[in-house]
Amino acid sequence: MKVKLPKQVTVIFLCALAAVAFGGCNRSVSPNDATQNKPSAFAKDLASVQRNNFLKVYVISRPDGGNLNADDKAYLRANMPVETTMRILTDKDRRLIVGTNFLFKPEQLDALNQRFKLEDYTGR
């Protein structure tokens, strides 16, 4: 037994089928575009520190943009308060993100500024 459907039902069915088949395709976005919109490791790590609502958030890096080496890390340990709450080495060891709930003493900030680029990311 053959059922004859009205033309309107057939047209609606074909339109719905086409919408399902082609509706999810966005051909204007290339795979490279998707990776460009992805946040960097630094952005993710900074966001994780900022979510903790620290009083101060600092980003410390070398002035030349190079990796923080063993001597740099030893200098940071010697000149940064041990009470510093959170430290994340990020950006392929080029930056240290620091979250703290107290203010660094002026002499600590001076010591850090003598050797490093110290940026205040509080509230950014």
Q: What is the domain partition of the chain in residue ranges?
A: 39-120
Q: pTM for the whole thing?
A: 0.69
Q: How many CB atoms lie within 10 A of CB 76?
A: 20
Confidence band, pLDDT 50/70/90 cuts, at residue 22 = low
Architecture in CATH for domain 39-120: 2-Layer Sandwich (3.30)
- Residue among 36, 34, 58 nearest 45 (CA): 58
How many percent of the chain have pLDDT more than 70?
A: 73
User: In sequence order, what DSSP letters do the residues of 74-96 get, joined into one string?
Assistant: HHHHHHS-TT--EEEEETTTTEE
Confidence band, pLDDT 50/70/90 cuts, at residue 42 = very high
Rounded CA separation 122/53 (Å): 9
Q: Which amino acid would we find at residue 124?
A: R
39 has pLDDT over 90:
no
Residue 2's pLDDT is: 60
12 has pLDDT over 60:
yes
